[in-house]
Structure 1
Amino acid sequence: MGARSVGTGTRTVAELVQERWDDHRPGLWCEGRALTHHEVAAGAAARAALFAELLSPRAEPHIGVLLDNTPEFPLWLGAAALAGAAVAGINPTRRGPELARDILHTECRVLITERTHLPLLDGLELPGVRVLVTDTQAYEDLLAPYADARPEPGPATPRSRYLLYFTSGSTGAPKAAICSQGRLAAAGRSLAGHFGVRADDVHYVCMPMFHGNAVIADWAPALTAGAGVALRRRFSASAFLPDVRAYGATYFTYVGRAVQYILQTPARADDRDNPLRTGFGTEAGAVDAAAFEERFGVRLVEGYGSSEGGAAIQWSPGTPKGATGRAAPGDDLAVLDPLTRAECPAAVFGPDGLLLNGHEAIGELVNRGPNPFEGYWRNPAADAARGRGGWYWTGDLFYRDADGFLYFAGRTDDRLRVDSENLAAAVIENILARYEGADAVAVYAVPDPVAGDQVMAAVAGTFDPLAFEAFLDAQPDLGTKMAPRFVRVLDRMPVTATNKIHRARLRREGFRCADPVWWRPVGEAGCAGYRPLSGADVEGLVERYRARGREELLLR
């Protein structure tokens, strides 16, 4: 995600950390604790020295970080930069074997965590992994010998592997996308320039730092400009405005669901009394973005950037309602039919603004020019799929109007994005297949009325809602975002001519189908489990999509 497409720069993140050594201004705040830029650089140097002692010479220099947004997260980001190491952000919503797989796949020999997350590691087989628990005396004792360390030039180069951040694929486990020090430093410089970030700014980091959103789009530009960083351990809508005022925050990043939660807090007459200049993110939607600006006096800048760095779309003044923007400078973006590789025709809109020719205008967004995609960790098949034919295939669906503005339309494969979490349908299917009444299971995305997706499952066989609810509660590897919102119950799964599950048909029919559908309404008081989806429920849902300008997504 970025203001423009960036390649591997000539600077390193390590150099940016070193530059803060002589800066004694306040630079990092979290939960009543404040550190100067100098103290952050010194803390990073101490941790880099500790890591060098702990790492075996034969091991990959990878650090797993399983933390909330505490000061330890940016301190270890700085440490990894100085040590020429890579940070793998470990997602605490993952569970059981899937969580262990993420740690072991990225070959993390050191895992940084805190006491609140230790129960997630109970019973996991993590051979060769040294676990450091930050909020303990043992951890402080380990760091003590390195208190005088300085951020000296280390082994880092612009091409040094720096981030391994997970992005879901259409089948199997998440892939770990690679980001080098040079690319992150270049992204930080690009965003700082685009938004005019100054040294006296404060960036509010309320999105989880194990995601690229917070590190690439919030922390990196602050580091580049010498701006301060204020952390919120976990996102809180009610704490958003008090935090912004307390820290004097001028910039933040978001995902659409967070914006909706903030707008749901009670409005006050003084909401516009805040220091924010800009919010930068994705999936807020035109309706919520306008409501946010009206209420808080802050413009939200929507952006699109492939997580892997292969394509970016840049908003600019004059971007039509609902559009993301045009291709960023240097990108040769096209909307292509993935089978024929031919360009899709321009979108045609009706008087009400609805897309009339989605069946031919919607295609996959492809960057046909040079791009900074750096591959996935130990996944050559995924590398080849992403870069087939010498072009970068984003895996995202778009359509383009006659003026070249691009509109996001979904995803090409079986990925789901729920509350800003990327999920793989196959992983959820493997869990739901254990349900005793299921002869066959298919999991797929239906659009969320506000942003992203919701999980829908089709179950062929017998279905008991109470038993299914109990089954879900008993699954140790079912992540917190994976439980289906809708369950379609059918006698037999629809199949294609080659006897594969007809996923396209299931997605197209969604929850408006002839078969019984059970659902769990979002936020409905007293509804602890699944209940039948009625005709009135469907009408109410469609009205919610219409109010948010997302009804056309139900028609794909």
Structure 2
Amino acid sequence: MNALVEAVLAQRGRLVGEGFDHSGQQTLRSVLARAACLGDRLAGAPYPHVGLLLENTPEYLWWLEAAVLAGATVVGVNPTRRGPDLLRDLTHTDCALLVTETRLLPLVADLGLAVPVLVVDGPGYAETLAPYADAAPPSRLPAPETRLLLTFTSGSTGAPKAVVCSQRRIARAGDKLRAQYGLSPDDTGYACMPLFHGNALMGLWAPLLLAGGTIALRRRFSATRFLDDVRDFGASYFTYVGRAVSYVLATEPRPDDAENPLRLGFGTEAGAVDAARFAERFGCRLVEGYGSSEGGCNLRQDPAAPPGAVGREGSGPDDDLAVVDPETGAECPRSRFDAAGRLANGEEAIGELVNRTARAGFEGYWRNEEAGAARLRDGWYWTGDLFHRDAEGWFRFAGRSADWLRVDSENLAVADIENILARWERAAAVAVYAVPDPVAGDQVMAALQLRPGADGDVAASFARFLARQPDLGTKMPPRFVRLVARMPVTGTHKTAKTGLRADRWDAVGGDTVLWRPYERGAAGELSYRVLTAEDREKLGALFAEHGRSALIVRNQVPRS
């Protein structure tokens, strides 16, 4: 039985959004027409792959569900990609057809694509679909193992990898969330995250489709429209990624914010502080999940989890999760905390999260066997993410594998520092990352987006805040702080740290950089001041003195 095919054919829910309200039957007619069109257009292609370069509109879901029925594979194209990178995404995934819209057509107009392009709001589109207006379901419906998606990883370095997702995997992920959160035909899921990303498809589209609920679309995420949309559409459930929650919290509070139909938000990387603020302001619980695009390791969410924990067992019945030393494969000692809540043995307790069940849910990367082999080593699935696990079995996220900092020979986890800095009432968004130390190892650097009206002596206020944090270890305070007008994010609203790392403490745009010179204030508090051009010259000389100038050669990496 193919649960996804059955749900598409049933079409029990509505599709609503900015200026449209489609019944299930209207959607089914649109899906059947496009499925028949795909059957003809992709019949002679080496691979039945269709690229969707669309914002969150009904057309996206109609073509996606058409692919479900036609046995085709959708490539979710990221509209923040440009030029050669975008061309590489389309050619690497063997797209035989591209579906886009007029506003995004310029992104591919000069790429020299050798595949046909359908423009959903362009001339001739209605005529293209007209012959399929009364199409019936395909005579042969696809099996559950049919490849449905090639979804790109959201890594910030190197070319993104295309993760293979079958219809079975999407259906299983959706059904788990449907059951876990009690989603029903009475629920409306608000899809404000981009549909080209797995979060929106596996976390919202699939569970609401299987539940027979309504799906509400926002073309592009808008923090200022969030609450109005929730009320207008009667949304009870939504998904989020990265900084989206921070942006909503940064909007002007209203006395009636809690008067809304929301009961649950599901996503990643909101952080414990923002989750608490969101629940207090909007009366809606946020459930933090952990899972990779690859599907090899997902932690089951548990309402009983202590602050900062994301679960203590995998979401699959046969999962065997562990935190291990990536060099030896030995399981790390359980984490311990001191009286102030500080991780007391991070050096030995933090390691890489693995699933010791062979393959788990990972179905591979498209045309990248080497990367797939790196994920599956010694019969285990390696996430590439840092965790530690306490004596009670709770897993706590400690950062990506690139988020280690080594300060004065001590290993630190970025996530721990970010969680502390997020408590600062003036901060709307926080990012922490490593920059080189002039002598050895790293220094901690933070980018802060301040809330509106957060003026005054920011440096002194930040230093006072740090001094009040009982769990801030002595190596954790940032050496450098970049004040940004808006936190740079990827197309999936995760913080884009690559450009920030490349900027280091350089003067960029209108940003102000504060720094903590190598001395403390007279009162024993940390002391910050503006980093000047003279300071930058002295830092450069210090790197040269220790033969480390190559580490601060300017890399031309744009912020996203």
TM-score range for the pair, normalised by the shorter chain length? 0.7 to 0.9
1:88 to 61, 64, 75: 75
2:369 to 356, 366, 380: 380
1:14 to 5, 11, 15: 5
2:484 counterpart letter in structure 1? P
Q: CA, structure 1 residues 408+387, in 2 after alignment: closer, same or farther (shift >3 Å)? A: same
Aligned residue in 2 for 1:116: 103
Q: Deviations over 1:231-258 (max 9, x none)?
A: 0011111111111111111110012411
Percent of aligned pairs with the same residue?
52
Aligned residue in 2 for 1:464: none
1:187 to 164, 173, 176: 173
Distance 2:304 2:336 in 1: 19
Distance 1:34 1:159 in 2: 32
SS class of match (2:309): coil
1:176 counterpart letter in structure 2? A
1:340 counterpart letter in structure 2? T
2:65 to 71, 78, 91: 78
Is the counterpart of residue 107 in structure 1 residue 107 in structure 2? no
> Could you tell which deviates more after superposition, 48-57 or 216-225?
48-57
2:326 to 328, 338, 345: 338
> Could you tell which deviates more after superposition, 38-47 or 10-19?
10-19
1:65 to 36, 49, 52: 52
Q: Deviations over 1:303-334 (max 9, x none)?
A: 11121111111221321111111112522100
Contact 2:403-2:433 at 8 Å conserved across structures: no
Q: How many pairs does the alignment contain?
A: 456
Distance 1:131 1:402 in 2: 56
Q: Deviations over 1:512-532 (max 9, x none)?
A: 99x9979462349xx943554
Distance 1:187 1:270 in 2: 35
Is the counterpart of residue 410 in structure 1 residue 399 in structure 2? yes
Distance 1:532 1:323 in 2: 32
Distance 1:453 1:124 in 2: 36
Contact 1:367-1:393 at 8 Å conserved across structures: yes
Distance 1:297 1:516 in 2: 37
Distance 2:350 2:6 in 1: 43
Distance 1:375 1:398 in 2: 23
Q: CA, structure 1 residues 169+245, in 2 after alignment: closer, same or farther (shift >3 Å)? A: closer
1:14 counterpart letter in structure 2? V
SS class of match (1:177): strand
Deviation of 1:162 after TM superposition, in Å, equals 0.4
Q: Deviations over 1:72-92 (max 9, x none)?
A: 111111011011011111111
Q: Which has the higher contact order (CA 8 A, sep 6+)?
A: 1
Point out where structure 2 has 5 or more consecutive residues left out of the alignment. 405-413, 423-427, 447-474, 488-507, 518-525, 530-560
Distance 2:276 2:433 in 1: 30
1:394 to 366, 379, 383: 383
SS class of match (2:37): helix
Distance 1:176 1:352 in 2: 43
Aligned residue in 1 for 2:516: 535
Distance 2:337 2:99 in 1: 51
SS class of match (2:391): coil
SS class of match (1:327): coil
Deviation of 1:350 after TM superposition, in Å, equals 1.6
> Could you tell which deviates more after superposition, 348-357 or 398-407?
348-357
2:80 counterpart letter in structure 1? T
Distance 1:81 1:258 in 2: 29
Distance 1:359 1:410 in 2: 14
Distance 1:75 1:348 in 2: 50
Aligned residue in 2 for 1:218: 204
CA RMSD of aligned residues (A): 3.1
Aligned residue in 2 for 1:354: 342
Is the counterpart of residue 177 in structure 1 residue 163 in structure 2? yes
Mapping 1:399-478, distance limit 5 Å: 399-413=388-402, 450=422, 454=431
Contact 1:364-1:393 at 8 Å conserved across structures: yes
Aligned residue in 1 for 2:407: none
Distance 1:413 1:289 in 2: 25
Deviation of 1:200 after TM superposition, in Å, equals 1.7
Aligned residue in 2 for 1:28: 15
Is the counterpart of residue 98 in structure 1 residue 85 in structure 2? yes
1:45 to 27, 32, 36: 32
1:108 counterpart letter in structure 2? C
Point out where structure 1 has 5 or more consecutive residues left out of the alignment. 1-9, 416-444, 459-487, 495-501, 542-556
1:231 to 192, 201, 217: 217
Contact 1:283-1:452 at 8 Å conserved across structures: no
Aligned residue in 2 for 1:314: 300
SS class of match (1:209): coil
Mapping 1:95-174, distance limit 5 Å: 95-126=82-113, 128-168=114-154, 172-174=158-160
Contact 2:31-2:65 at 8 Å conserved across structures: yes
Mapping 1:240-259, distance limit 5 Å: 240-259=226-245
Q: Deviations over 1:48-106 (max 9, x none)?
A: 11122222524200111111101111111101101101111111111110111001111
Q: Deviations over 1:246-273 (max 9, x none)?
A: 1111110012411111111121221111
2:515 counterpart letter in structure 1? S
Q: Deviations over 1:483-530 (max 9, x none)?
A: xxxxx797xxx8xxxxxxx9xx34x554699x9979462349xx9435
Is the counterpart of residue 271 in structure 1 residue 257 in structure 2? yes
SS class of match (1:404): coil
SS class of match (2:484): coil
SS class of match (2:327): coil
Q: Deviations over 1:380-402 (max 9, x none)?
A: 10111101111110111000010
Of the two, which has the highest radius of gyration? 2
Distance 1:540 1:316 in 2: 40
Contact 1:518-1:530 at 8 Å conserved across structures: no
Distance 1:122 1:356 in 2: 55
Contact 2:302-2:310 at 8 Å conserved across structures: no
SS class of match (1:252): strand
1:522 counterpart letter in structure 2? A
Distance 1:267 1:58 in 2: 53
